[in-house]
């Protein structure tokens, strides 16, 4: 293949040339290092070990890279080298202090790089928190205590002690752990030297401990007392059966379990008991597969993944209330906290790790069980390299370790559902809520009819308004969903003939009007793709008419509520009001305390809320996701409606949900309102199979991005051509579609073109896709992830 782009572009440097490497005989003082950045390699690079040192797999190092030998961070991924070693080898520059990546995770990283077609270094790097890699946030403090064994025979054989050493021993007293700084102070010793001698001689035992704790854990601990365990005889029959089947003898070892339970059916209680079971296997004399437990800290732990947004003190409290040693990994942690938590986990000091997507790489030394809650959630997919799916990586990790994994959801992804219909996973169902709790009654409102019968613009229908009034009269609360930010989706000329619309200068997208009382014109226009902002023009630039606002957003609903329910407190929750995880928690807490009657928001309110005071749920528009050009739009619509409808009717009041739609006849809307997931899944799977779309096949996507439109499209054309050639040569039967402009053809002044790859068939389809992508990367050098992004199992197709 010849280069099609003329001048090499910095983001995309033509074809890979086979580098001629001089080689010598194999040698065993060589390690393979996956470097953090700079090279697109499937394997590590070879380096000599520092003289006299043997480096284990997983050790973090710095190595010289490139012509200028720039020190670059990396991780040892293997020892020795396959085949003859390159003749002139550079040596590892530096071995980083502190623990490395466990070998198990290095192996998982190799799989990650292969499966998601990204450089090994990028995959490995994603598994370590930045603060660990950089060695920052070093808030470890040294703790010491008298070593018990030494105390008895301290007279003869040991070296003579200085007066200062003697003082330290006296101050250390009974042998309890004490922070070294405190001990020095107590003993009146000014330098650390004497203490270090005692540590070297084994008189004092030392340990470095993190000093910081996540606030979420502290908050959760405060709440935890209010969350007692549910007694066994109170479990629902569904819960009992699921627990029995998942703790039985058949369920030992690796297995994927899909726990499908309607919203509020008590999935968390099932997780808690499964974790208890998994951890208790240790207590009666080691684990069945013969792994040893550390003596200092009983190891053995469970990993619980939840969507970031569900990481509230409310969720965490349910785990903290049941287990002593819980670590929470969330985006609100400081670098120091993240570092500290990682070390605690690595040292086996933690029984349970709860965290969002990247917690799937938590270095638990003896992982016994993985739980992925809300497994359908799109936030498990990372949108930059490595573009991994947290659930799928979790499944892979469980498989490698030979431990069970539980995927829980009220609205499973069709991928997980389809799998549960085969022998590759087991389905467990919780068909009902705990006794006395009812699923809400659902009322569909036809918005087209509402519009015919009513004057003016109303986002709250008459029926929803009546339900809200009833709820407020009964001292209850309401949750209202509209999955659209801002006030109005478009600002346009009223004249159809003119057709002007305010669009972003940098993207192929309309600008969204956001209300802002501080601005004279009452608001600003914003692009939701590049975040550009501008003042709104008073008149249409083409025909000088006054523009109108079309399409509704949450701010508009908020305004309407102010007029329809004056004096009723509303909390709004969307990406504009919730800037930090902290805001989100504070808002939910305020709502939980009853400080507002209405919680209004975008999809973030649909997840994991559990408030008994809520008796009404309103879906302002069930149609937002239906209009998105994506084969998953029906699935997303179902999930959003079913999840938010499930927020009503917790506690002992039967709730009611009002779902407003222009498509009351749409089967997805109807089935979601009825919370009939199996019927929906069956229907949807038929159409996916017919079209050969996931889960009936596997998809990957390569997106090329460039400021120059021709270059972007030529890049995509070249990639499509290579893909077709590889497919034909190797007979992989992968369908190559494109190049074609992306749905969002331009974002932030970059043109975007894509190539879609579709491999029909069962699980083996993934291997064919992987083979094709590996060859593609061998032939075409994809230097920058921003320039050419490979996305395997894409979740968003924009």
The verdict on 493 binding Zn ion (CB under 5 A) reads yes
Examine residue 223 and tell whether it contacts ligand ADP (CB under 6 A).
no
* Min CB(538)–Zn ion separation in Å: 13
Report angle CA 158, 163, 166 to the nearest 5 degrees: 60
Give the 3-state secondary structure of residue 53.
coil
Of the candidates 112, 36, 108, the residue with the CA atom closest to the CA atom of residue 793: 112
- Regarding 548 and contact with Zn ion (CB under 5 A), the answer is no
- CB 531, min distance to Zn ion, A: 7
- Kindly report the CA angle at 716 between 710 and 718, in degrees rounded to 5? 100
Binding segment toward ligand ADP, per CB under 6 A, in 110-118, 257-265, 630-638, 717-725: 257-265
End-to-end CA distance of the chain: 30
- Binding of Zn ion at residue 221 (CB under 5 A)? no
Exactly one of 11, 32, 62, 268 binds ligand ADP (CB under 6 A); that residue is 268
Stretch of 541-549, 585-593, 658-666, 722-730 contacting Zn ion, by CB under 5 A = 541-549
Residue from 73, 133, 260, 267 that binds ligand ADP (CB under 6 A)? 267
How far apart are CB 241 and ligand ADP at their closest, in Å? Answer: 12
Residue 44 CB neighbours (<10 A): 24
Report if residue 264 touches ligand ADP, rule: CB under 6 A: yes
Site residue total, ligand ADP (CB under 6 A) = 15
Residue 511 interacting with Zn ion (CB under 5 A): no
What SS3 class is residue 597? Answer: coil
Structure tokens at 671: 């089935």
Q: Decide: is 486 part of the binding site for ligand ADP (CB under 6 A).
A: no
Return the residue matching tokens 């969720």. Answer: 315
Among 76, 367, 444, 504, binds Zn ion (CB under 5 A): 504
Please report how many Cα atoms fall inside a 13 Å half-sphere around the Cα of residue 376, on the Cβ side.
29
Least distance CB 261 / ligand ADP (angstroms) = 5
Compute the distance between CA of residue 754 and CA of residue 742 in angstroms, rounded to an integer.
6
Measured distance CA(329)–CA(127) in Å, rounded: 13
Stretch that binds ligand ADP, among 171-179, 265-273, 574-582, 727-735 (CB under 6 A): 265-273
Q: Taking CB under 5 A as the rule, does residue 536 contact Zn ion?
A: no
Among the listed residues 54, 234, 466, 586, the single contact to ligand ADP using CB under 6 A: 234
User: Counting every residue, how long is the chain?
Assistant: 798
Contacting residue, 29, 36, 269, 684, with ligand ADP by CB under 6 A: 269
The answer to whether residue 374 forms part of the interface with ligand ADP (CB under 6 A) is: no
Helix (H) or strand (E) holding 304: strand 301-305
Q: Establish if 230 lies at the interface with ligand ADP (CB under 6 A).
A: yes
CA distances from 220 to 319, 337, 555 (A): 9, 16, 32
- HSE of 702, CA atoms in CB hemisphere, 13 A: 31
Which residues make beta-bridge pairs with 131?
none
Query: Which H helix or E strand runs over 409?
Result: strand 404-409
We find the least distance from the C-beta atom of residue 239 to ligand ADP, in angstroms, to be: 6
Partner from Zn ion, ligand ADP, none contacting 490, C-beta within 5 to 8 A by type: none
Q: Which one of Zn ion, ligand ADP, none is in contact with 555 (Cβ closer than 5 to 8 A by kind)?
A: none
Residue 507's binding partner, choosing from Zn ion, ligand ADP, none, with beta-carbon cut-off 5 to 8 A by kind? Zn ion
- Piece of the chain touching ligand ADP by CB under 6 A; list 234-242, 337-345, 442-450, 507-515: 234-242
Pair 355, 349: CB distance under 8 Å? no
Residue 674 Cα to chain centre, angstroms: 29
The correct pick among 50, 64, 138, 434 for binding ligand ADP (CB under 6 A) is: 434
Where does 50-98 show beta strands of DSSP type E?
60-65, 70-79, 94-95
Q: Does residue 340 touch Zn ion according to CB under 5 A?
A: no
CA dihedral 232, 233, 237, 242 (to 10 degrees): 10
* Contact positions vs ligand ADP (CB under 6 A): 230, 234-236, 239, 261, 263-269, 434, 610
* Contact positions vs Zn ion (CB under 5 A): 493, 495, 498, 500, 504, 506-507, 527, 529-530, 532, 540, 542-543
């Amino acid at each position: 293949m010849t280069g099609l782009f003329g001048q090499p572009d910095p983001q995309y440097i033509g074809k890979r040339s086979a580098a001629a490497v001089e080689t010598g005989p194999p040698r065993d003082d060589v390690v393979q290092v996956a470097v953090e950045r700079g090279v697109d390699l499937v394997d590590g690079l070879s380096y000599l070990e520092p003289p006299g040192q043997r480096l284990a797999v997983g050790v973090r190092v710095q190595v010289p890279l490139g012509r200028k030998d720039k020190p670059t961070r990396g991780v040892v991924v293997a020892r020795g080298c396959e085949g003859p070693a390159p003749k002139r080898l550079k040596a590892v520059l530096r071995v980083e202090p502190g623990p490395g990546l466990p070998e198990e995770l290095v192996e998982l990283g190799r799989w990650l790089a292969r499966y998601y077609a990204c450089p090994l270094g990028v995959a490995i790097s994603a598994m370590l928190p930045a603060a660990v890699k950089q060695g920052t946030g070093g808030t470890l403090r040294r703790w010491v205590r008298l070593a018990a064994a030494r105390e008895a025979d301290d007279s003869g054989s040991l070296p003579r002690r200085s007066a200062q050493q003697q003082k330290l021993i006296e101050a250390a007293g009974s042998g309890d752990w004490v922070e070294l700084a405190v001990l020095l102070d107590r003993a009146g010793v000014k330098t650390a030297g004497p203490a270090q001698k005692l540590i070297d001689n084994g008189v004092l035992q030392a340990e470095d401990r993190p000093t910081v704790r996540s606030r979420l854990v502290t908050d959760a601990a405060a709440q935890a007392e209010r969350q007692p365990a549910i007694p066994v005889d109170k479990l629902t029959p569904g819960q009992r059966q699921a627990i029995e089947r998942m703790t039985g003898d058949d369920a030992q070892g690796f297995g994927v379990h899909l726990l499908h339970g309607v919203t509020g059916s008590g999935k968390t209680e099932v997780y808690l008991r499964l974790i208890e079971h998994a951890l208790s296997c240790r207590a009666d004399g080691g684990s069945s597969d013969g792994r040893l437990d550390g003596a200092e800290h009983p190891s053995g732990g469970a990993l619980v993944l939840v969507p970031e947004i569900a990481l509230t003190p409310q969720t965490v409290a349910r785990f903290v209330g049941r287990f002593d040693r819980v670590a929470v990994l969330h985006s609100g942690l400081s670098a120091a906290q993240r570092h500290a938590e990682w070390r605690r986990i690595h040292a086996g000091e933690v029984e349970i790790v709860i965290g969002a997507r990247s917690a799937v790489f938590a270095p638990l030394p003896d992982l016994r069980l993985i739980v992925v809650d809300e497994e359908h959630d799109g936030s498990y997919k990372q949108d930059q390299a490595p573009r991994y799916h947290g659930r799928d990586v979790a499944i892979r990790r469980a498989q490698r370790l030979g431990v069970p994994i539980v995927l829980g959801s009220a609205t499973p992804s069709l991928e997980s559902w389809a799998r549960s219909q085969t022998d590759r996973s087991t389905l467990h169902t919780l068909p009902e809520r705990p006794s006395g709790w009812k699923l809400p009654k659902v009322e569909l409102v036809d918005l087209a009819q509402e519009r015919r019968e009513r004057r003016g613009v109303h986002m709250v229908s008459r029926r929803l308004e009546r339900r809200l009034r009833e709820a407020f009269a009964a001292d209850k609360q309401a949750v209202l969903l509209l999955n659209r930010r801002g006030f109005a989706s478009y600002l346009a000329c009223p004249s159809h003939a003119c057709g002007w619309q305010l669009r972003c200068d940098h993207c192929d997208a309309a600008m969204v009007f956001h209300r802002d009382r501080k601005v004279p014109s009452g608001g600003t226009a914003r692009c939701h793709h590049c975040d550009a902002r501008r003042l709104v023009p008073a008149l249409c630039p083409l025909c000088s008419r006054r523009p109108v606002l079309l399409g509704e957003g949450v701010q508009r609903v908020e305004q309407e509520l102010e007029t329809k329910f004056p004096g009723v407190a509303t909390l709004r929750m969307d990406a504009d009001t919730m800037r930090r995880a902290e805001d989100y928690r504070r808002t939910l807490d305020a709502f939980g305390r009853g400080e507002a009657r209405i919680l209004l928001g975008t999809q973030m309110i649909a997840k994991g809320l559990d408030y008994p005071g809520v008796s009404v749920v309103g879906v302002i528009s069930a149609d937002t996701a239906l209009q998105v050009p994506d084969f998953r739009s029906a699935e997303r619509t179902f999930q959003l409606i079913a999840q938010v409808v499930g927020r009503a009717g917790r506690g002992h009041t039967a709730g009611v949900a009002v779902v407003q739609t222009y498509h009351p006849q749409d089967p997805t809307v109807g089935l979601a309102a009825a919370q009939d997931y199996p019927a929906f899944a069956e229907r949807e799977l038929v159409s996916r199979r017919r079209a050969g779309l996931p889960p009936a096949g596997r998809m990957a996507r390569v997106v090329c991005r460039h400021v120059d439109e021709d270059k972007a499209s030529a890049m995509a054309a070249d990639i499509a051509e290579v893909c077709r050639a590889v497919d034909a040569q190797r007979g992989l039967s992968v369908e190559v579609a494109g190049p074609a402009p992306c749905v969002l053809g331009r974002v932030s002044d970059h043109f975007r073109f894509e190539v879609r790859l579709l491999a029909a068939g069962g699980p083996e389809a993934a291997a064919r896709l992987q083979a094709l992508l590996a060859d593609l990367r061998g032939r075409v050098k994809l230097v920058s992830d921003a320039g050419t992004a490979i996305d395997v199992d894409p979740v968003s197709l924009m």
